[in-house]
Amino acid sequence: MSKVTQRSKLNKKIAEFVRANPSKYTITELASMFDGATPDSVRGMIKRDKELCSLVLSHYDKQLEVIQMATRKTSKEISVEAKLEGKIAKTSAESLDTKRKYKAVQTENKVLRQQVKDAIKISGKPRSFKVAPRHSSKVSEGTYVMVASDWHVEETVSLTGTLGRNEYSLKIAEERAKMFFANGHRLLKIYQKDLKVDTVVVALLGDFISGHLHPELVETCSLPPAAAALYCRGLLKAGFEYLLEDKSIKQILVPCHSGNHGRSTPDYRQQTEYGHSWEWMMYHLLKADFAGNKRIKFEIADEAQYTILPVYSYTLRLHHGHSIKYGGGVGGITIPVNKAIAQWSKPAQWEDEVFKTPSLDVFGHFHQRLDGGWFVCNGSMIGYNQYAMAIKAGYQRPEQASFIIDRDRGKTFDSPILFI
């Protein structure tokens, strides 16, 4: 029997079997059931037989339709799935963004922790100092005190916002900082004509930056708090270098206090305020800048609310002033200030021979230069702004306090340091 005849008989058997069982077996299975058949030969035979091909395709179409009906989704189901997919995509993006922010915060936190560690290493234990007479009693001697506070270097004040009364920016802050040291030094040279003055106290009493104490400051400040503190450090460093060029100044004493604006916490903390203050870190960096210079000494307040500085037989109590609460009464700040001083000066608190009852309180915070007899309130370098207008504060030009402590007469020559 020829191969053609054999193939013809085989194809006939397969065709009869498929007609009898159109939906039970695949082409591969059919080929395995008949000797001499291959999947390709079975497939070719079915394609050539139109009736058989139609029967097989009809069966496959029905199967396909069943599958499609089983997997077909309603428009509502598609809509729900689309929303779910959208939410999943949004959540995934938000999660990725959160991870990026968390990583950035971790990095920033690591940097800040290292900065604090470095500042603590730099600081050591601050030394107490006092001003002792440097000349014989036959020579008239005095100490010059310059008070620096409430500079708010990065805050912006517009002429339109203050009705043309004041303007302030980073550039103006730099110009006024230069004038503080230059004009303060000019007053010193005037005093030195009739008085032996070779000791200068530059009291740094806080609020050199505005920080983000109030939400609006995030918008009105030109620099973030850390950058503002470093910017201000540069201004102060340049100022001290300028004073040190004058060889008639034998020593510069720098008591330092943090203000309420320089803190990094939303709420005021009493015992640990210094550890959360950008200004406290700035002071330590300044101290490190002049570590090798014996003519300038820093005393940086930590937990203490104020610093005691004996000048001859006269005693200064220095602080920022934010622990004095003023509610805007008609008597001005004098009433709450006098109450606070009376409490702080009770005899039982001052039994130490060095820490005698203070003769003079020196502070800032209230942005108004005022000589109250037994206290000196410092003005501000930023000057009049929208906040002062809002709380109905009286207008005062930008100025800082300065005065002489005469060895024999106490406080004399109270003069403002002006920015003109």
pLDDT at 126: 34
3-state secondary structure 75-139: HHHHHHHHHHHHHHHHHHHHHHHHHHHHHHHHHHHHHHHHHHHHHHHHHCCCCCCCECCCCCCCC
* Span 214-241, average pLDDT: 93
First CA to last CA distance, the chain: 126
* Span 94-112, average pLDDT: 74
* Span 153-161, average pLDDT: 94
Residue with the larger pLDDT of the pair 230 and 65 = 230
Residue 420 predicted with pLDDT over 60? yes
Kindly report, residue by residue over 285-294, the tens digit of the pLDDT. 999 999 999 9
Kindly report, residue by residue over 356-369, the tens digit of the pLDDT. 678 899 999 999 99
Residue with the larger pLDDT of the pair 186 and 34 = 186
Residue 415 predicted with pLDDT over 50? yes
Residue 299 predicted with pLDDT over 70? yes
Mean residue pLDDT across the chain? 82
pLDDT at 67: 41
pLDDT at 252: 98
* Single-letter code of the amino acid located at 317: R
Kindly report, residue by residue over 246-274, the tens digit of the pLDDT. 999 999 999 999 999 988 887 777 667 87
Residue with the larger pLDDT of the pair 149 and 82 = 149
Residue 305 predicted with pLDDT over 60? yes
**Where residue 418 falls among pLDDT bands split at 50, 70, 90?**
very high
Residue with the larger pLDDT of the pair 155 and 22 = 155
pLDDT at 77: 61
Residue 107 predicted with pLDDT over 90? no
Residue 69 predicted with pLDDT over 70? no
**Where residue 72 falls among pLDDT bands split at 50, 70, 90?**
low
**Where residue 122 falls among pLDDT bands split at 50, 70, 90?**
very low
Percent of the chain with pLDDT over 70: 79
Residue 31 predicted with pLDDT over 70? yes
Residue 302 predicted with pLDDT over 80? yes
Residue 186 predicted with pLDDT over 80? yes
* Span 409-415, average pLDDT: 91
Name 317's bridge partners: 308, 361
Q: How many CB atoms are located within 10 Å of the residue 116 CB? A: 15
Is the separation of the CB atoms in 193 and 255 below 8 Å?
no
Residue with the larger pLDDT of the pair 127 and 371 = 371
**Where residue 350 falls among pLDDT bands split at 50, 70, 90?**
low
pLDDT at 35: 78
* Span 303-320, average pLDDT: 88
pLDDT at 130: 66
Kindly report, residue by residue over 318-343, the tens digit of the pLDDT. 999 998 888 776 778 888 999 888 88
Taking the model in full, what pTM does it have? 0.67
pLDDT at 325: 82
